[in-house]
Amino acid sequence: MSKEYNVGVLGATGAVGREMLKCLVDRGFPYGRVKALASSRSAGQKVEFDNDEITVEEVGPDSFNDLDLAIFSAGAKASAEYAPLAAKAGCPVVDNSSNWRMDPRVPLIIPEVNPGALRRHKGIIANPNCSTIQMLVALKPIYDAVGIKRIVVSTYQAVSGTGQKGVEELAEQTRQLFNGQDPNISVYPHRIAFNCLPHIDVFLENGYTKEEMKMVNETIKIFDDQNIKVSATCVRVPIFYGHSEAIWIETGRNISPESARELMKRAPGLLVVDDPAKNLYPLASEATGRDEVFVGRIRNDPSCENGLSMWVVADNVRKGAATNAVEIAELMIRDPQLLKTDWPV
């Protein structure tokens, strides 16, 4: 009989936390006991799990003592407090917040891209930003084959990237506008319904947003390539689920769209949908609820000798967050050494 693992999910009442619980079941993770954890506000609530419900427990310093591993989706502040406690208790953490991503002690993992970096963890493993995940899953086979010198990306990100409050604001504003009412604006700085906002997270001194710089810095860390150049423009768009990206790359050596397409067809976690003559290309509506990254519109860029352009789509709550975290956990249970922690006391 295969081993079963006791798993904790911190942030279990949030949209991504609930999806993490669902992913454990959907992907057949060999769980024994699953502990749903959250702050005192949410303790006592029930969350769905495997055709049943489990009661949410309040997280505390001792919550991880009886767990084999934990998956966090509770924000940077909670992660900063509880991830080291879990690691010191011998419970490795896969963390979905931004808190640990650029920490040199913490590997930043996309299983299809850099699984080998997982061996460097000391007890905390970071899940990348949702937009970075789907971009690098798509670009990995090209990067390996011919190298990539430069990436320019524009994202079209769903409101679920802001959490349930973003979903609710879009729905409410849409109803209000259809009823001739002035929309209530609280989550975003401007109306999001029937609008596009080139503003995700806070603006930095260099004119980029924090979201845009996440894509820059995380790409360099995940590819372990200080020479790769990245420029991003991140836009919030009025759809509920699914991030889309228009990506332009300059490769190290020339590669044809046909060759790139064939490489991508063989790559793990990637689904090529690319027949524009039949109106076949990736759509956010079709990626929703799926774990794959979808790529299409693969074509030459005539402005650059070694340029390619493409369109990439993924479900930001699934592959962009919950699924990627569970896939990391799947890698860890295949090698008992990866479940050991060595976080400094």
243: annotated active-site residue: yes
Q: Find the catalytic residue in 23, 91, 234, 243.
A: 243
| CB of 309 closer than 8 Å to CB of 297 | yes
Spatial distance between the Cα atoms of 288 and 63, rounded to a whole number of angstroms = 33
3-state helix, strand, coil in the chain (%, to 5): 35, 25, 40
Query: What H or E segment, with its residue span, contains residue 84?
Result: helix 76-88
**Is residue 344 exposed (0-12), middle (13-18) or buried (19+ Cβ within 10 Å)?**
exposed
Q: Find the catalytic residue in 91, 130, 190, 199.
A: 130
Residues near 297 by beta carbon (within 8 Å), at least 6 away in sequence? 274, 276, 281, 282, 309, 310, 311
Spatial distance between the Cα atoms of 154 and 156, rounded to a whole number of angstroms = 7
121: annotated active-site residue: no
Instruction: List, in sequence order, every beta strand (DSSP E) within 78-228.
Output: 93-95, 124-126, 148-157
Catalytically active residues are 130, 243
